[in-house]
A and B are shown apart, each in its own frame.
Chain A
Amino acid sequence: MNATLFYSTFVIYAVATILYLCFLVKPKDQLGSAARWSLYLGFLLHLGFTANRYLEAGHTPITNLHEALSFFSLSVVAVFILCERRYKVSILGSFVVPLALIILAVSAAFSSVIPPLNPALKSRWLVVHTVMAFLGYAAFAISFGTSIMYLIQSHFLKKRRLGSLFQKLPPLDILDEISYRCLTWGFPLLTFAIISGAIWAETAWGTYWSWDPKETWSLITWFIYAALLHGRLTTGWRGRKAAMLSIFGFVIMLFTFLGVNLFLPGLHSYK
C-alpha cells in the first residue's frame, strides 16, 4: 500500500513535470491546466501516502530521511499550489515541480522501513517543530525557483534578447514580489521552528541550545535570510542581488537539511 502510493505519486509528479516543461516550450492554456490538474492529483496521492504512513507508524512521518525528503517534496508542492492560485503564474511550475520530483526521487534512495521511534522524538513538539521547518524550507524553495527565473529574465532584458522564453516568463516585479512574499512566510516559519526546537530541546535534552551541527547551520541559514530581509526593507536589496542571495540561502538551507544529517554527526542525525 505504502509503496504503491509512493510510486504512483512519483509517476504522476513525473507526468506533471513533463507537462510543465512542455508548457514552458509551448504555453498553451490546455497544456497549463493539464499540468496543473496532474499536479493536484499527484499532491492528493502524496497526501494519501503521508497519511497512510502516519497511521502505520502512529506518529508524524518525518523521523528518517526517506520520510523527511518526501515531506519536503509535499510541502514544496503545497506552497507552489498556493502561490500559483494566488499569482496565476503557472510557468513557475516549470521550475518548481521538477525540484519537487527530484526531492522525491532522492527520498526513494533512502530506506523506507519505519524505524522504531527514537524515544527522544516521542513528543507533541515533533509535529510543530518539523512541519514548521519544512513549510519554511518549501517557501524558501519557491523563492529559489522565482529567483532563478528572475535572473534569467533580467539577463534577457539586459542583453535585449527578447525571445520566446522571455515572452513566457512573468514580469520581473511579479517574480520579485513572489520571491519576497515567500521569504516573509519562510522566515517566520524558520524562526518558530528554531524556537520550538529550542523549547523541545530543553524538555528532551535538558538544554535549550547545545551547538549541535543542525542547530549551528540552522542559525547560519536564519542569519542569511534575516540579512536578506533586512537589506531588502532598509537599503532595498532588490532584484538581482536579492535573487542571488535567495539562491545562496537555499543552498545553505539544503545543506542544513541534508548535508548535516548525512555528513555531520550530532543530535539531529536520524537516518
Chain B
Amino acid sequence: MNIIVVGLSHKTAGVEIREKVAFSPTQMEKPLHQVVDLPDITEAVIVSTCNRVEIYATTRDVAGGMARLKRFLAEYHNFPLETLEPHLYSYHGEDATRHVFRVASSLDSMVVGEPQILGQIKTSYGYAAEYRSSGIILNRFLHKAFSVAKRVRTETKIASSAVSVAFAAVELAKKIFGDLSDKTVLLIGAGEMCELAAKHFINVGVRGVMVTNRTYERAEKLAEEFDAKPIKFEDLFDQLHKADIILSSTGAPHFIIREKDMHEVLRRRKMKPMFFIDIAVPRDIDPKVNDVENIYLYTVDDLNGVVATNLEQRKIEAAKAEAIVEQEIGQFFKWLSSLEVTPTIVALRSHFDEIRKGELAKTLAGWKNLPPDAEKKLEALTNAYMNKLLHHPTSVLKKTEQGNRNDLYVDALRHLFDLETGAPQEGLMELED
C-alpha cells in the first residue's frame, strides 16, 4: 500500500489559485467520500488551509492514484486541469511521509515555525475520521505526523523563533504609518490568524481596536477579549473610515470590500492612508482596492516579503527539525512496509511452522520404539493441519481488491501473532489536544 499526496501550497501557487480550489470546512463530507470512491483509492484526508490544499490518500497504483486525485481536485472545483496542473506537486512513499511531517512541523509554512498549521491538520484529520474516509494507514500516518510535530516543537526552538505573518503585518504597518500609537485596528470576522495579528498590534500599542462580525454576539465576545469596540456588521461602512489598519478574515464566498466603496470612505478620512490585510481564502477584499489612492492591500502571501529578521537562528533550528523528520521517516516506513501482504503471509507461515517444528521435535524426542514411517506421517499430519488452518486467512489476505480492510487484517495479524513489526506498537491512538 502506498501513501500519496497531491496538492498545492503558497510555494507553488498564488492566493488567486489557492482560493479557487480551497474546500469549505463546513462541507467536508462530500469531497472526502468522493475521493475514497475513486477507483483504487482506499483512504483519504483533505487538508485545506489558506496556505495549502492537499489530499492525502492510499492506493496500490501510485501513478494512477495521483492522476485521479489531480483530476478530482480540478473537477470538484470546476477549474481547468491544464491551468491547475503546473501548480500541483505530488509525492509518494517516503517523500509523501517527509512532506506531511514537514508540513505538520511547520517547516513548510510560509512563516516557518508558525504554530497554527498543526491545529489545522488535526482539524482536517478530524473530518476524515468523522466521515470515515481515513483508515489504518492514514490514521497512523497522521498521528505519526502529530507526534513528529510535537517533538520538533519541544526539541527545537523553531516555534519560539518563529516570525509570524502577524509580526510581518505589524512591521509593514510601521512602514506605512511610522508611529502606530494613534492608529486604530479593525477586525472583520474572526479566525486564529486574524486574532493573532490583532494581538501583535495591541502588543506594539495601537490606540484602539474595533471588531465586527456577521453575528453581533461573536463580535461582542471577541471585543471583550481584546478590550475592543464591537460594531454591527451592517454599520461596517459607516465605521470603516475610522480604521487605519483593517484585518479581514471572514468565510464569505464573495468580496466584502470593493473598490467603489472606498472612495467615500477615504473622503471621510481626508485621504489618510489605509492598510488592509486580507487573511481570508477566498478573499474578502477585491484586489482592485489596492489601486485606490493611499490604500495598500496585502494578502498573507504578500506579507512574506517583510519577514527578514532572525533568519540565521531559524536556519539552524530548521536543520535540527529536518533531522528529526528524517529519523522518524525511517520508523514509520518500517511499520508501513510491515503491512505488505506477502511478507506477512511468509512471516505468519514461518511463525506457525516454527511452532509446529518445535512441538514435533519435542514429541518425537520422548517417543521410543517408533514405527519406521511414523515420523514421516506425523510430519505430513502437522503440515496438513497447519495448511488447513492457514488456508482461509491466507486466501482472504491475497484478495487485493478489498481495499483498506486488507491493511487492517495485516495489522491485526501482526498484533495477534506477535509477528515482527517495524515500529513499536502504540496501541489505540487518541487525537492529541
Residues of A that sit less than 8 Å from B by CB: 153, 157-158, 160-162, 166-167, 170-174, 177, 235-241
Contacts and interface: CB of A to CB of B under 8 A. Distances in A.
12 contacts: A153-B175, A157-B175, A160-B302, A160-B305, A171-B175, A172-B176, A236-B269, A236-B271, A237-B271, A238-B271, A239-B271, A241-B271
A241 B305 contact: no
A235 B273 contact: no
A239 B175 contact: no
Interface string B303-333: 0011010000000000000000000000000
Given A162-B305, A162-B306, A240-B294, A157 B176 contact: yes
B388 interface: no
A46 to B, nearest CB: 32
B298 interface: yes
Contacts of A173: 176-179, 273
Contacts of B30: none
Contacts of A241: 271, 293
Contacts of B172: 162
Given A171-B175, A236-B272, A157 B306 contact: no
A237 to B, nearest CB: 7
Interface in B164-182: 172, 174-179
Given A153-B175, A171-B178, A238-B294, 7 more contacts: A160-B302, A172-B178, A172-B273, A235-B267, A236-B269, A238-B273, A241-B271
B175 A166 contact: yes
Contacts of A166: 175
B399 interface: no
Contacts of A170: 178
Nearest to A153: B175
A161 B176 CA distance: 14
B226 interface: no
Contacts of A161: 305
Interface residues of B, number: 22
B415 to A, nearest CB: 55
B391 interface: no
A153 B273 CA distance: 13
B296 interface: yes
A171 B275 CA distance: 13
Nearest to A174: B178
Q: At the interface, is chain B mostly helix, strand, loop or mixed?
A: mixed
B272 A240 contact: no
A157 B308 CA distance: 16
A78 to B, nearest CB: 25
Contacts of B296: 157-158
B305 A171 contact: no
A236 B270 contact: yes
Contacts of B271: 235-239, 241
Given A160-B305, A240-B294, A171 B177 contact: yes
Contacts of A160: 298, 302, 305
A171 B176 contact: yes
A166 B177 CA distance: 14
A2 B270 CA distance: 51
Contact of A235 (B176, B270, B293): B270
A226 to B, nearest CB: 18
A239 B294 CA distance: 6
Contacts of B308: 167
Interface string B257-293: 0000000000101111100000000000000001001
Contacts of A239: 271, 273, 293-294
A258 to B, nearest CB: 32
B303 to A, nearest CB: 9
A167 to B, nearest CB: 8
A157 B305 CA distance: 11
Q: Quick one: which of B174, B175, B178, B273 has the most chain A CB within 10 A?
A: B175
A198 B97 CA distance: 84
Contacts of A174: 178
A231 to B, nearest CB: 10
A172 B180 CA distance: 12
B298 A172 contact: no
A235 B306 CA distance: 33
Nearest to A157: B296
Contacts of A167: 308
Interface string B164-208: 000000001011111100000000000000000000000000000
Contact of A238 (B178, B270, B302): B270
A171 B174 contact: yes
A161 B296 CA distance: 12
Nearest to A163: B305
Nearest to B269: A236
A186 to B, nearest CB: 21
A36 B273 CA distance: 31
A153 B178 CA distance: 13
